[in-house]
Structure 1
Amino acid sequence: MSLRHRRFAALALAVALPVLAMAAQDARPAHTPTPKELLAKSRPDEWRTPDPQNLLVMQLPQGKVVIELAPDYAPLHAANIRTMAREHYYDNLAIVRVQDNFVTQWGDPASDDNGDKSKLKALGSARATLPPEYTRAFDPTLPFTTLPDGDVYAAEAGFSEGFPAARDKAKGQQWLAHCYGMVGVGRDNDPQSGSGSELYVVIGQAPRGLDRNLAVVGRVLQGMEYLSGLPRGTGPLGFYAQPTQRVAISQVRLMSEVAREQRVNLQVLRTDGATFAALVDAKRNRHDDFYQFPAGKIDLCGISVPVREAGASR
């Protein structure tokens, strides 16, 4: 190439580069909708109202916590927990353990390793032991919204009835996952020792290694801040070293047994609709002034299914 031609090519490139850069800028999406914007456009039929028989209302000094049970995944534990709630077993128990970046746990203080076992509260007609419900049989008819990016812990991950879940068709199993806000059943080494009399909620990074090793029975729909914001225990595993540090539970009731005028009418976004799909896409592909490099992927516990009070502005 002659010197003249090389100079012409360099000039052409110098002119073209800014144009290409501007074109690339124009091709980049200017704005990724925020969750608030997407939810504002959701249709009424994209929301479901949980069965009041599957909602626990726990009253703490800080406020009210609402938990949705998952009977399709842990039917025996859900039934036992309902029995304990109806018979007021949880009343006047306590939050006994808050381990940083892990779990908040509640139950009978007398059941602690150093507790006075003679003072254990009677379970009434609830069962003291149950078969482990760590997984359930794979059911293709059970709703399941699969996430697109795969999962480290399972062959397939997604959401089932609003709960983060995983499944393995080859092994014929599916189960709920230990994501933030999920509620599980405390137990000893014996797999049948978890009755639901002691429960915990995940308050930190998702301990997915616990999946299929403990029964996961539901998730917190409202009041998570009251469980995650408690002082951390200073004893082993985050147990409160002094009885005075424990947080009293005044009562736990099924929402179906709460007076109608005092009920909290919650709705959960369905995961099989266009709005949830748009939420997932927006989280995977953030384009705005802050996110210069969108991840292009999302993991199971990186998404929290939205909850709202019925009648709230959309």
Structure 2
Amino acid sequence: MPPSVAPLAVLAASLLAVGAVQAAPKAAAPKETDWRTPAAQDVVVIDTNKGRIVVELIPEVAPGHVARFRELTREGVYDGRTFFRVIDRFMAQTGDPDDTGEGGTKKPNLKAEFTFRRDAATPFAVAAAPAGTEVGLLKSLPVVSQAWSWSQVTSDHKVAAWGTYCPGVVGMARDEDNDSANSQFFLMRQPYPSLDKRYTAFGRVLSGLEVVRAIKAGEPVAAPQDAMTKVRLLADISEAERPKIRVVATDSAWFKAEVAAKRAARGADFSVCDLDLPVQIR
């Protein structure tokens, strides 16, 4: 399961430092050509007693975990599951069929997908290149990658990359064994990059981060616990009920201008977690 949140003082100091930096000027509204429509099978609608959370799954980074999440969603395993472990300024954990934090399904555990191999076709939008790495977004997921120049010397002409734990990132919980993830998952309330390459990141909240942050905290959470009332893939929602969702594309002019503005405003303190994609839901 995700580790305890011991270094809170360090995180709090960093968040205060972020607040001290002058905010970037507000960008112009995206144009029609700046938007993309996520695949319906890659969008999850999580209705909770606190409100709705919409998540985009990113199969390019963790295909096995995304396939398991889709499978459990379609089987109704996540319906009614409580948020049994919620730590303020860290994450909210759920997905246990037993609602205890100790359970899982009878399906085999998942092999860890802490990193993935990025090739030239991977839709990764580079935002900055600090210390020989590259950071940016793959669809909506913040990602850290080896510099692309390393592909010239790797046997598969690819480089290693991984999702980084910014607010809204969705990760799979596990036990001490790296390959012990099964059904439990967590949603980040705040950034926590020490989870990088230790827990599989496989999606990000598009809408409803305020709901994630409003979930009742506790370790464990005292009764009554908040819960997911219904979890569905967008593809499985009837056309009449299905929300229409679109997200600003990372290859758009709006996104490139936004990256430039954020980098100018934040200077050396720029982080990929500073990048937020506009989302429209109707």
TM-score with structure 2 setting the length: 0.82
Match of 1:225 in 2: 210
CA deviations on 1:34-66 (whole Å, 9 max, x unpaired) are: 13xx12xx3322211011111111111122111
**Residue 254 in structure 1 maps to residue 255 in structure 2:** no
Match of 2:43 in 1: 55
Q: Which runs of 4+ in 1 moved over 6 A?
A: none
SS of match in other structure, 2:71: helix
Match of 1:15 in 2: none
Match of 2:94 in 1: 106
Deviation, structure 1 residue 231? 2.7
Deviation, structure 1 residue 296? 6.4
**Residue 164 in structure 1 maps to residue 142 in structure 2:** yes
Contact 1:285 1:297 in 2 (8 A): no
Runs of 5+ consecutive residues of structure 1 not aligned to the other structure: 1-31, 287-293
Q: What CA distance in whole angstroms lies between the structure 1 residues aligned with 2:186 and 2:45? A: 15
SS of match in other structure, 2:246: strand
Contact 1:107 1:198 in 2 (8 A): yes
- Aligned AA for 1:83? E
Match of 1:212 in 2: 197
Q: What CA distance in whole angstroms lies between the structure 1 residues aligned with 2:262 and 2:47? A: 33
Q: What CA distance in whole angstroms lies between the structure 1 residues aligned with 2:104 and 2:251? A: 43
What are the residue-to-residue correspondences of 1:140-151 with 2, within 5 Å?
140-148=120-128, 150=130
Match of 2:8 in 1: none
What are the residue-to-residue correspondences of 1:62-211 with 2, within 5 Å?
62-108=50-96, 110=98, 112=100, 122-123=105-106, 127-148=107-128, 150=130, 155-168=133-146, 169=148, 170=150, 172-195=159-182, 197-204=183-190, 206-211=191-196
Q: What CA distance in whole angstroms lies between the structure 1 residues aligned with 2:129 and 2:270? A: 7
Q: What CA distance in whole angstroms lies between the structure 1 residues aligned with 2:187 and 2:104? A: 22
Deviation, structure 1 residue 174? 1.1
Match of 1:239 in 2: 220
**Could you say what the CA RMSD is over the residues aligned between the two structures, in angstroms?**
2.1
**Number of positions where the alignment pairs a residue of Structure 1 with one of Structure 2:** 250
Runs of 5+ consecutive residues of structure 2 not aligned to the other structure: 1-23
CA deviations on 1:252-273 (whole Å, 9 max, x unpaired) are: 1111111112112111111122
Q: What CA distance in whole angstroms lies between the structure 2 residues aligned with 1:122 and 1:281? A: 45
Q: What CA distance in whole angstroms lies between the structure 1 residues aligned with 2:91 and 2:180? A: 19
Q: What CA distance in whole angstroms lies between the structure 1 residues aligned with 2:33 and 2:269? A: 28
Contact 1:96 1:107 in 2 (8 A): no
Q: What CA distance in whole angstroms lies between the structure 2 residues aligned with 1:174 and 1:149? A: 13
When residues 200 and 52 of structure 1 are mapped into structure 2, their CA distance, relative to the original with a 3 A threshold, is same
Q: What CA distance in whole angstroms lies between the structure 2 residues aligned with 1:98 and 1:53? A: 28
Contact 2:140 2:204 in 1 (8 A): no
Q: What CA distance in whole angstroms lies between the structure 1 residues aligned with 2:164 and 2:136? A: 10
CA deviations on 1:127-179 (whole Å, 9 max, x unpaired) are: 3311111111121210122123526xx71111112321111143731111111
Q: What CA distance in whole angstroms lies between the structure 1 residues aligned with 2:237 and 2:92? A: 25
**Residue 275 in structure 1 maps to residue 254 in structure 2:** yes
* Seq. identity, %: 30
Match of 1:34 in 2: 26
Q: What CA distance in whole angstroms lies between the structure 2 residues aligned with 1:182 and 1:150? A: 21
- Aligned AA for 1:110? D
